[in-house]
Structure 1
Amino acid sequence: MELADKTVGLLLCVISLSLFTYYTFWVIILPFVDTDHFIHNYFLPKEYALLLPVFAGVSLFSLLSVFIGYVMVKSKRKSA
């Protein structure tokens, strides 16, 4: 099982590093490249640079809130 855990950890690190590199290039470097350059074909429109992280943050916060509420209700039932 230890090898599977290491493989999953490596996969998560590679995905995270890839997303970080893509987003950093998209937000910081791409605005300084001419708009008719071919590299713009590989990136979403600029409007999504703010919308995607906000949506991800709101989704994460909502899921965490639901999980914490579920745990609190479940623990209250056990003690009653």
Structure 2
Amino acid sequence: MELADRAIGLLLSVISLSIFTYYTFWVIILPFVETDHFVHKYFLPQEYAILIPVVIGVALVCFLMMFIGYVMLRSKRKNA
């Protein structure tokens, strides 16, 4: 099982590094590249650079609040 855990960890690290590199290039470097350059076709419009993380953050906060509420209700039933 240790080999499978290492493989999953490596895969998650590679995916995270790829997303970080893509987003960093998209937000920091791409605005300084001319708009008619071919590299622009590989990236979404700049508006999504803010919209996507905000939507993911709101979804994460909603999920965490639902989880905390579920745990609180469950612990309340155990105590009663």
Moved more, 28-37 or 7-16: 7-16
Q: Please list, as runs of the form range in 1=range in 2, the aligned pairs for 1:46-57 lying within 5 A after superposition.
A: 46-57=46-57
Provide structure 2 residue ranges, at least 5 long, that are not aligned to the other structure: none
C-alpha distance in structure 1 between counterparts of 2:36 and 2:56, whole Å: 30
SS of alignment partner, residue 36 of structure 1: coil
C-alpha distance in structure 2 between counterparts of 1:16 and 1:68, whole Å: 26
C-alpha distance in structure 1 between counterparts of 2:23 and 2:35, whole Å: 17
SS of alignment partner, residue 57 of structure 1: helix
SS of alignment partner, residue 76 of structure 1: helix
RMSD: 0.7
Q: TM-score, structure 1 length as denominator?
A: 0.96
C-alpha distance in structure 1 between counterparts of 2:41 and 2:2, whole Å: 41
Identity of aligned residues (%): 73
Which residue in 1 is equivalent to 2:65?
65
Provide structure 1 residue ranges, at least 5 long, that are not aligned to the other structure: none
Superposition deviation, residue 75 in structure 1: 1.0
Q: Deviations over 1:17-68 (max 9, x none)?
A: 0000000000000000000000000000011000000001001111011111
Give the count of matched residue pairs. 80
Q: Does 1:33 align with 2:59?
A: no
